[in-house]
Amino acid sequence: KDETAKQNAIKIVKALNGLVGVTGTKGYIARYRAPMDSVPFRAYGGKNWCEGNEKCFMVNEGDFSGDFWIGDTSKDQYTGWFLGMTVAYDLIDDEETKDMIRNVVSTVVSVLIENKWKIKDNLGHINLGAGSRPPIHFQIAWSLSAYHMTGNELFKKEVEKKTAWWRRVFVILT
């Protein structure tokens, strides 16, 4: 129970949470986020590059003012985000951090369910970098994570719906 490790983990959770907040789009996770005065922003080419790139967005107001972010987030990046949040939820003994994780994971999964598991970007387009929709095993894993954290019946029902066919096959095979 190293306090430094705990604080570093909380910092990472805040960064993962910021990947959702920076987009300004409920439940959409950015591929990347950093301050506009950072080395990565300058390395990409700065303001001119970002303005000419349909996947780059500069934030000039609100909580993330001064940041830039890149969209076209893949389903694999969503999976990494969920893995990070789920592991952090189970390992970090800090109720404020757990609340943050519960809220953002619940929001992301709820939006995905509302959108029939299609990842829609900040412009409302289906994110082609993520494919049409995440495969069923991702949908089950993400719903299970959300249910584990929240106890929300919506997520339990989604898991039951997604696993119904597999349960029938298992019964037939046994």
Q: Which residues contact 80 (CB under 8 A, 6 or more apart)?
A: none
- Model pLDDT for residues 30-83, shown as the tens digit of each residue: 999 999 999 999 998 999 999 999 999 999 999 999 999 999 888 889 999 999
Average pLDDT over all residues of the chain = 92
d(CA 164, CA 140): 11
Which runs of E-coded beta strand occur in 12-171? 32-35, 56-58, 67-70
Q: Which residue has the higher pLDDT, 169 or 71?
A: 71
Each residue's pLDDT tens digit, 77-110 = 999 999 999 999 999 999 999 999 999 999 999 9
Location of structure tokens 């609340």: 99
Is residue 129 predicted with pLDDT exceeding 60?
no
Share above pLDDT 90 across residues of the chain, in percent, rounded to a whole number: 80
How far apart are alpha carbons 72 and 39 in whole angstroms?
Answer: 21
Output the pTM of the full model: 0.91
